[in-house]
Amino acid sequence: MRQLKERNRCNRSVRHLKIQGKIWLKNLKSGLDQIRESQVRGTRNNFLHDGSFHEAVAPVLAVAQCFCLMPVSGIVLQRTGD
């Protein structure tokens, strides 16, 4: 009798784990699908640039300005004449 109760308890635990595992996998799959849908494929316009010196050094100047190594102004403008 005692062994039968233990076996039943084990069987219930196994069934419960299987059900929870299926639910977990379904949630994981839906989360991955949401991530895939939110990602945008790069287009030609994402990679176009004019190749100017100002555009090339703007990120370096922005970091340098954040750390007060090179205090300059107007580094985020589109044209250098502005």
pLDDT digit string (tens) for 16-64?
A: 999 999 999 898 888 888 888 877 777 888 778 778 888 888 888 888 8
Query: What per-residue confidence (pLDDT) applies to 82?
Result: 52
Strands (E), 21-81: none
8 A C-beta contact, residue 5 and residue 12: no
Side chain identity at 54, as an amino acid letter? Answer: H
Q: Specify the pLDDT at position 72.
A: 67
Domain-by-domain residue ranges, the chain?
1-40, 52-82
pLDDT at 80 over 80: no
Predicted structure pTM score:
0.38
The pLDDT score that the predictor gives to residue 20 is: 92
Beta carbons within 10 angstroms of residue 68's beta carbon: 7
38, 35, 31, 78: which is closest to 58 by C-alpha? 78
For residue 81, give both structure tokens. Answer: 């004449």
pLDDT of residue 81: 60
